[in-house]
Amino acid sequence: MRMAQHRDRLNAMVVSRKVAYRLYPSRSQGVALLSMLGAHQRLYNAALEQRIAAWRLRRYGMSYANQCRELTELRAADELYQNVNAQSAQVTLKRLDWAFKAFFQRCKRGEMAGFPRFRSFERFSGWGYKTHGDGFRFVPGDGNMHGRLRLSGVGVIPVRGRARTLGEVATCEIGRKAGRWYAWLTMQCEPKRTRGTKAVGLDWGVQTFLTIAHEDGSFAEVANPRLVRRAKAELEAAQQNLGRKQRGSKNRYKAKNIVAAIHHKTANRRADFLHKESAKLIARANLIAAETLTVKNMTASARGNLENPGRNVAQKAGLNREILATAPSAFLAMLRYKAAEAGIEYVEVPSRTVKPSQRCSACWDVRKKTLAQRRHVCSCGLALGRDENAARVTLFWALARTGREPTWCLASIAS
């Protein structure tokens, strides 16, 4: 009963969600967006210059509040900034403030501290707004699809994108990536998802992206998308093309945009893949068990160190790239918030103590195997795929942990 109440509360929670929309500005709106970007870039650099000068001349550390006060005068004096929404100018000052705070923190930790830098137009990515209705207004299209974004000083721009759950719009960020314009709206929403009825244990690997173990002993697999490999040829050609262009030329700028667009497209496809697969899992599960993530260890260990040089470095590096390319950490993050939205129990299985890839799912003994061994063969008589066995260990541990029992093979959780 208490669990049910807890789940209902989870189902009704308010979460902040960032939704990306692509802008389709007219030619004149495109010009206005660029000039707005230029104004924010100059404001950023001017504010940085001001901080440096105040320190050099007066040993005075300017704060965000100081600079906001001066902003009013600046807006009155310089017509460049009169077109810029006051709140969004504050956001740019705030971003500079963050850059300084991060710098001071790095200094404190004794790291190589990069002092905040002046940003060229090329390196300046965008600006933001703090309050819906002040400088920007978003009107969604039918069925939450697409819509229109009004920016003060620019006009009403058609946008494409979709919020799965439409919420109250809070803030907006405008940015330019690979020659395209985007808006990221944060929305306060109360998302609702329906959950399924199965308990599932997960194992992700290199050969198969995801192996899913069910309570009834059956398995399902999600194949690796191999997006990076597919994009690789395309990327190599584009990079070669870029290398042939003269520095500073317009053609080089274009070629650079093509490279960035391929990276961007690959990232989008990967995110799309991860969203779809995580949503599918949620729709059929009421308990999800997954290993704690050790990707960092897996990728770091290939090269080894002086005392402990890695073996098969090249082979493992390729393998590591593949692991990173399938982005299990992003997948897990999506699973976690979707599980919360649907009120599903999400059990994180500690790999270090449970050792799902080494343990036998039938007798619970640890059977060491190398990464190359793709089969789990145990003296108790169990023989099955390595990933299937690991997914099953994960599932059983979670079932035992949450007080449920697997419907078959009770012996396996006895110890």
Chain residues in the site for Zn ion (CB under 5 A) = 360, 362-363, 378, 380, 382
Shortest Cβ 365–Zn ion spacing (Å): 5
CA torsion, points 142, 143, 146, 149, in degrees to nearest 10?
Answer: 60
Tokens, residue 378: 């145990």
- Which run of H or of E encompasses 57? helix 27-58
Contacts of 224 (CB under 8 A, 6+ apart): 206, 207, 208, 209, 322, 326
β-pairing, 345-349 with 285-291?
A: parallel
- Residue number, 186 or 389, with CB nearest to Zn ion: 389
Q: Give yes or no for a contact between 266 and 228, defined as CB atoms under 8 angstroms apart.
A: yes
- Residue number, 41 or 361, with CB nearest to Zn ion: 361
Shortest Cβ 375–Zn ion spacing (Å): 13
- Residue number, 64 or 364, with CB nearest to Zn ion: 364
Shortest Cβ 368–Zn ion spacing (Å): 13
> What three-state secondary structure class fits 207?
coil
- Nearest 5°: phi and psi at 323? -60, -45
Shortest Cβ 354–Zn ion spacing (Å): 15
- Estimate the crossing angle of helix 227-244 against helix 250-284, to 10 degrees: 170
The DSSP letter of residue 304 is B
Shortest Cβ 380–Zn ion spacing (Å): 3
Rounded CA separation 126/124 (Å): 6
- Residue number, 345 or 388, with CB nearest to Zn ion: 388
- Residue number, 330 or 380, with CB nearest to Zn ion: 380
Contacts of 164 (CB under 8 A, 6+ apart): 144, 191
Shortest Cβ 210–Zn ion spacing (Å): 24
Shortest Cβ 360–Zn ion spacing (Å): 3
- Residue number, 319 or 380, with CB nearest to Zn ion: 380
- Choose among 18, 16, 17, 13: nearest CA to 341: 13
- Residue number, 170 or 378, with CB nearest to Zn ion: 378
